[in-house]
Amino acid sequence: MYWFMQGVKAGDSLVFHFSGHGSQERNYTSDEIDGYDETLCPLDYETKGEIVDDELNATLVRPLPRGAKLLALIDACHSGTMLDLPYFCRMDRTGRYVWEDHRPLSGSWKGTSGGEVILFSGCDDHQLSSDTECLSKVASTGAMTFSFIQAIERGQGTTYGSILKAIKSFIRNSDCDLGSNISPCLLTMLTIGGGSGLRSRQEPQLTANEPFDVYTKKFSL
C-alpha cells in the first residue's frame, strides 16, 4: 500500500480492491463512534498482526493530493468504515439516503490532502461479509464483489447511487444462505473482537471523504 501511493499526483485515478477476512478490535483513542477499530487480516496476521483502519487511512487516504482520486472496494467482514472516511452514506431499502457525519469526537482529521476517496464496502461495521458459490454457480466469490460486477455489467453503474442501490438489492433478494460459508475459526476471532448482530444479512455500504449527491455524480475510474 505504501508503494501504491508513491508519486501520486493530480490526474491520477487509483483503484484498491481487497477481498478477504476482516475483524474488529477495541478502540481506546475516542475516534470511533462504536468504540471499535476495523481491521484487515492479511495472510500472516497471526504472526504479524492485523492492519488497523487507522493505518489504512494514514496510508491510502490522508496523502491523496488534490486532483487525484481513489476508488476502494473492500469485501470483508466489518468493512463499513474500513478506511475511516469522514462521511457515511446511509441508504434505506427504497434508495433514499442521508450522509452521516463520522468525523471522530477526538477531532483528528481522517480526510484527504485535497483528493477524492470513495469506498464501497461489503457490509456495515457490525456485520459479516460472505463468500459463496451460490451467486456465480461456478466458484466461491465475495458476495459484494460479485454483486458489484453484476451491477456494472447490467448497466446499473451510471452513478454511485445506482451501484449502491443495485448491489444492496442483489444481495438482499438473493435466496442464497450468505452466512453458511463463514469459517468457524474466523467466527471465533470475531467473537473476541466483539460487536452485535453479526448474523444479520450483510448490507453493502458507501463512505467518502466528502458528501455528494449519489444519484447525479457519475461513476468513473
Residue of 21, 78, 89, 123 marked catalytic: 21
Instruction: Determine the Cα–Cα distance for residues 129 and 117; give it in Å rounded to an integer.
Output: 22
Residue whose C-alpha is closest to residue 102's, from 18, 190, 211: 211
Our CA angle for 180, 146, 135, nearest 5°, is: 45
Overall size of the chain counted in residues: 221
Is 185 marked active-site?
no
Is 21 marked active-site?
yes
Cβ–Cβ under 8 Å, residues 85 and 119: yes
Is 186 exposed, middle or buried (CB count within 10 Å of its CB: 0-12, 13-18, 19+)?
middle
User: Residue 154 is which amino acid?
Assistant: R
For residue 46, which phi and psi values (nearest 5 degrees)? -70, -25
Cβ–Cβ under 8 Å, residues 75 and 122: yes
Residue of 17, 41, 77, 102 marked catalytic: 77
Our CA angle for 85, 56, 156, nearest 5°, is: 55
Among all residues, which ones are annotated catalytic?
A: 21, 77
